[in-house]
Amino acid sequence: MREAGLRMSYDVLRHYWHPVATVQDLGGKPLGALLLDERVVLFSTKGQVAAFKDLCIHRGTPLSLGRIENGTLVCAYHGWAYAPDGACVRIPSLPPGGSIPLKARATAYRTQERYGLVWVCLDEPRAPIPEFPEIDDPAFRTFCMKFDVWDTSAGRMVENFADFSHFAWVHPGINAAPDDPVAPLYQVERRGDELHYTVDLRGDFGAGSWETVENRYRIVPPFSIQLIRMMPEGRRYVLTLFVSPISTNKIRRFLCVSRNYRLEESLDEELGSYIRTVAGQDRAIIERQRPEELPIDLSEELHLRGPDAASVAYRRLLAEIGVKEP
């Protein structure tokens, strides 16, 4: 039953944009990636990024083994050349002037570049790529971090980011004081298809000083979440997490870090070190959660009124858009 449910969820998730790589990942060679268990190949030519199903229709060879030549992706096996729209424009084994079959096409997917990332949608989009203005705001300095593959699900990853009641236990002395584990009261607000909530938390948070700050959370389904820390003197520290669902129990996370203070580059490494420490502490927990996929049925795990309000609202939102078990 559970496996059937996951396949049904994939049908829904194919209609959303997901990041699969950074723009810097694209070079002079095709790049293979995995999204929702679908093997995809990306390549950049003449200022445009194309994404195909990683399969040549001729003999089933991965197109990611090929090369980029004259604005086309050339298959490594028989040299079939595919234009960015997926059409085969050259078959070397045919005589000059030979007709190329209409069926000779690669399956092309929609692509966009946003926030320094390459996004792919495998089917007709239900919603645009979420707007996170701080990333593009010139008043903020932004750098982005790509993490390796994690053995967990996209839902578990977003829920971990949304949850602050684990801070005193997983991040003691960094994001919370070990002797102050009581979670503050807060209310989750639904705004269209998004979830918003605000909570005052005391911690260091990589800012270099221990203080109580207002934390504004924003969840955009299916797998994007942002945290804005409203620090004194108008300082803003913004973490925007995009989770890419490789499969039901594997993800890659892309994190954009924005700030409107201390804009010098040297602070990037300091904040990056803090983030890597916190991420490592979370990873030790998240990769051991079972089941790996986030249970959408609320009866499958115990929820606390108050601390778990965001988790409950997020699971209900995923169920609403169709990410559910049968």
**What DSSP letter does each residue of 159-173 carry, written as one string?**
HHHH--TTHHHHSBT
Residues 142, 108 within the same domain: no
Rounded CA-CA distance 258/139 in Å is 10
CATH of the domain at 102: 2.102.10.10
Examine the domain organization and report whether 114 and 25 are in the same domain: yes
Residue 7, pLDDT score: 52
- The answer on 112 and 175 residing in a single domain is no
Asked if residue 4 has pLDDT above 70, the reply is: no
C-alpha dist (Å) from residue 275 to 155, 195, 237: 20, 24, 13
Would you place residue 253 in the very low, low, confident or very high pLDDT band (cuts 50, 70, 90)? very high
Number of domains in the chain: 2
Give the model's pLDDT for residue 175.
75
- pTM, rounded to two decimals: 0.93
Q: How far apart are the first and last CA of the chain?
A: 7
pLDDT digits (tens, 9 = 90+) for 196-212: 999 998 876 665 667 78
- Tell me the three state secondary structure of residue 97: coil
Mean pLDDT estimate for the chain: 91
Please check the confidence at residue 6 and state whether its pLDDT lies above 50.
Answer: no
Any domain includes 326: no
Say whether both 114 and 213 belong to one domain: no
* DSSP letters for 281-314: HHHHHHTT-SSSSPP-SGGGS---TTTTHHHHHH
Tell me the mean pLDDT in the region 240-269: 94
Output the pLDDT for position 5: 44
Query: What pLDDT does residue 208 have?
Result: 61
Please give the full DSSP string across 224-285, using - where no structure is assigned: EEEEEEE-GGG-EEEEEEEEEEEETTEEEEEEEEEESS--STHHHHHHHHHHHHHHHHHHHH
For CA atoms 61, 63, 69, 71, the dihedral sign is positive
- Residue 117, domain extent: 17-121
**Last-in-domain residue among 59, 94, 121:** 121
